[in-house]
Amino acid sequence: MGQGMGKSPQESGSIAALAADVFRHYAADLQRFLRRRLRDPQSADDVTQEVFSRLVRVRQPDLVKDPHAYLFGIAFHVIRELRLQENRQPVHYDSQIADRAGEQPPDHVSPDEMALQLDTQRQLQRALADLPELHRALILLCKRDGLTYEEAAKATGISVHMVEKHLIQARAKLLSMLWDL
């Protein structure tokens, strides 16, 4: 049990008792940590609320041996999810606009920059073409079309976990292919 804690969850027998003890002993530390980490008081408050919301949903409080570590572990996961959501910006691709841009380059782009952009686009197209069909489909659904993992799972008929797994593999393959070029 963490230092300064009262009864253990086994002794008190409820998640409410665990959550109350954890809140009383660690909420201020968690809040300071989140304010430093997120640099936005409102986000820190939201994450604190989500962390304690997840804590009260623990099904077996007697398995929580170190409440301080458990609480901060939840916080790390919530911060990670928050950052993933912030970074999940759909990539919009309009083939007609891309074709027109290739035909009539803008005046402010140098020929070297345009050549680099076209070369990068060709490399990416080749790398995408070399991916397995499912990997390519998931990359396009999530990045180009802006679908969530849940929506991509429904569209492809696989689980959300498998979508995540295939996207990790696809990104790794794309990075290695583009790195080798």
Tokens 């691709």 appear where? 93
What pLDDT score does 11 carry?
44
> What would the pLDDT profile of 129-138 be if each residue is shown by its tens digit?
889 999 999 9
More confidently predicted of 91 and 163: 163
> What would the pLDDT profile of 7-41 be if each residue is shown by its tens digit?
444 444 588 888 899 999 999 999 998 988 888 88
Q: Are 51 and 74 in contact (CB under 8 A)?
A: yes
**Reported pTM:** 0.44
- Looking at the structure, do residues 109 and 41 belong to the same domain, yes or no? no
Residue in 136, 118, 116, 117 with CA at minimum distance from that of residue 177: 136
Rounded (10°) CA dihedral 108, 111, 115, 118: 40
Q: Quick one: tokens of 39?
A: 């640099």
Helix H or strand E segment including 153? helix 149-156
Query: What domain range is 138 assigned to?
Result: 95-180
> What would the pLDDT profile of 114-154 be if each residue is shown by its tens digit?
887 888 788 888 888 889 999 999 998 998 888 899 999 99
In total, how many domains does the chain have? 2
Among 34, 55, 87, residue at a domain's last position: 87
- Looking at the structure, do residues 152 and 118 belong to the same domain, yes or no? yes
